[in-house]
Structure 1
Amino acid sequence: MHPELFKIPIPNFLEGLFGEYFTIYSYGFFIVIGAISGVSYVAYESKKSFNLSFDKINTLFLLLLIAAIVGGKAFLFFEKPAYYLDHPSALLTGNGFVFYGSLLFTIPTMLIFFKKNKLPVLPMLDIMAITTCIVHFFGRIGCFMAGCCHGIEWHGPLSVIYSDPACQAPLHTPMHPTQLYSASMILVILVVLLVIKKHKRFNGQLFLSYLMLYAAGRSIIEIFRGDISRGYVIDNFISHSQFISILVFLAALFFYFKIKNYKKTTT
């Protein structure tokens, strides 16, 4: 599609430092839009419910950003450890993140932050579930523009073809638009969470519902993903992301009924 959204000419006296143009990349642009939207939602909800200061919200997002980068790169390393041991610089590029790595590193970061700041953990996790959907939705749009997380070759009516050499997807090849599948799935999950929010039966329900819904949807979308370099747990049968999805779904299901049943026994 369009990995470079637009370019801004640099004044002549600054060309020696920055070149002729300042480039706005699509992926980064949509990530920023998602982050701003996510911060705004957390600020609104946490201020309304828990009177959380904006400074603490900024601190939370900074910690989550660090955890997401570390986690995304850590899981990327374990997909091809031999390669990255020989090419460690490949981990330092702006490309290549594993969403599940980011997610699983941010969860304990949130738990520690909430407990340290004496915030109710489960209600805050419910807020973060919707926030994650918002940020992730824009992130997948950025993926579509950049060509990463692309699908397998497909000549169907909804196939997409990348022609820009700057894209990360194979060029001039019709493919499943898996990034848009993911964005659509996340949008549906967001709507479902907003409906659940109005009829919430226990704290933590939104967060655990998000984990189960995303894990189930991600397992299906993986079938159409074409970036096979991520590897398989069982060759050509279960990918790393599908395996992690199974574990996440089962863990979330366990805690869902555990918390739900605990609430019943205490009411």
Structure 2
Amino acid sequence: MHPELFSIGDFTVHTYGFMIMIGATLGYFYMSITVKRDLGITSDKIQNLAILIILAAFVGGKVFFYFEDPGYYFGTPSNMFKGFRTGFVFYGSLLFAIPTVIWYFRKQKWPVWPMLDRIAITGCIIHMFGRMGCFFAGCCHGLPTESFLGVTYTDPASQAEPLNVALHPTQLYEVTWIAIVLVVLIMMKRHKRFDGQLFFVYIILYSIGRGVIEIFRGDVRRGFIIDGILSHSQLISLVVITVAVISMLILRKKKSAN
């Protein structure tokens, strides 16, 4: 596709980073507007929250990415800095960001579960644009396909492999699934039974979709627990779904008892 949006001299704007910036901006405005309206939280506090999320997501995404091939990265530490601006695992970002935001919510004495419900919708917005960035960059691509849905990458700067072969646009599959999850969350928002429900629904639905989409992924460097059968991300999806379902049932029971 178009991994580089444009260049001015030696300065290049990469489409992946540009899409992330759009998603983060929209997510920030959604969060700022809703928490100020509903909870009276000022925008400067949300700015601090946004910075923490970005840092946690960056570190978590990189850590999980390095563990996909620990021998390559930890055996030769200099490899960690190759393509440093790319190469992230969403689950790593998510699993690092969640405890970070919970800590910040408690520090600010904000209601944790209502805030996590808003984080769920914000996360969908940012993630959709992030996966669009992946589509343009060619990362997170699918297997070769003869389907009419196939997308062929020809730009040498693209991360897709192989070039000039139709591949499943797994990035767009995920964009579509996240958009569906976002619509579900928005529809549930006014009718949720307890605070925290949207957050757990987001986690569960996303993980289900991610586990299925992994079947069509072709970037083998993400690694497998069982070669060709169960990828790292699918295992994480199963664990996350299990923990989220149990946690949601416990939370719902506690809310019903009060």
TM-score range, shorter chain: over 0.9
Shift of 1:23: 2.0
> Which of 176, 180, 183 is residue 184 of structure 1 equivalent to?
176
Shift of 1:55: 1.3
**What is residue 27 of structure 1 aligned with on the other side?**
16
Deviations 1:183-204 (A, max 9, x none): 0000000000001102111000
> Which of 65, 70, 95 is residue 59 of structure 2 equivalent to?
70
Moved more, 130-139 or 46-55: 46-55
**2:119 corresponds to 1:128:** yes
In 2, Cα distance between equivalents of 1:144 and 1:44? 29
Count of residues in Structure 1 that have an aligned counterpart in Structure 2? 255
In 2, Cα distance between equivalents of 1:48 and 1:26? 33
Aligned residue for 2:94, secondary structure, equals helix
**What is residue 209 of structure 2 aligned with on the other side?**
217
Aligned residue for 2:133, secondary structure, equals helix
Aligned residue for 1:183, secondary structure, equals helix
Shift of 1:163: 0.3
> Which of 231, 234, 248 is residue 256 of structure 1 equivalent to?
248
> Which of 97, 107, 110 is residue 88 of structure 2 equivalent to?
97
Shift of 1:54: 1.3
Aligned residue for 2:106, secondary structure, equals helix
TM-score scaled by structure 2? 0.97
Aligned residue for 1:79, secondary structure, equals coil
Deviations 1:2-60 (A, max 9, x none): 0111234xxxxxxxxxxx25322110110000000000000011101121111111111
**2:110 corresponds to 1:119:** yes
Kept in 1, the 8 Å contact 2:72–2:79? The answer is: no
**What is residue 3 of structure 2 aligned with on the other side?**
3
**What is residue 196 of structure 1 aligned with on the other side?**
188
Structure 1, unpaired ranges of 5+: 9-19
In 2, Cα distance between equivalents of 1:90 and 1:50? 45
Shift of 1:173: 1.1
Amino acid at match of 1:176: H
**2:49 corresponds to 1:60:** yes
What are the residue-to-residue correspondences of 1:33-52 with 2, within 5 Å?
33-52=22-41
Amino acid at match of 1:53: T
**Cα RMSD over matched residues?**
0.9
Deviations 1:147-173 (A, max 9, x none): 000000111101000000010002101
Aligned residue for 1:124, secondary structure, equals helix
In 2, Cα distance between equivalents of 1:165 and 1:254? 46
Aligned residue for 2:155, secondary structure, equals coil
Structure 2, unpaired ranges of 5+: none
Shift of 1:91: 2.2
Moved more, 102-111 or 85-94: 85-94
TM-score scaled by structure 1? 0.93
Deviations 1:93-149 (A, max 9, x none): 111111000000000001000000000000000000000000000001110001000
In 2, Cα distance between equivalents of 1:156 and 1:66? 39
Aligned residue for 2:5, secondary structure, equals strand
**2:225 corresponds to 1:233:** yes
Aligned residue for 2:175, secondary structure, equals helix
Larger radius of gyration: 1
Percent identical among aligned pairs is: 52
Stretches (4+) displaced over 6 A: none
Amino acid at match of 2:207: A
In 2, Cα distance between equivalents of 1:139 and 1:45? 22
In 2, Cα distance between equivalents of 1:79 and 1:115? 33
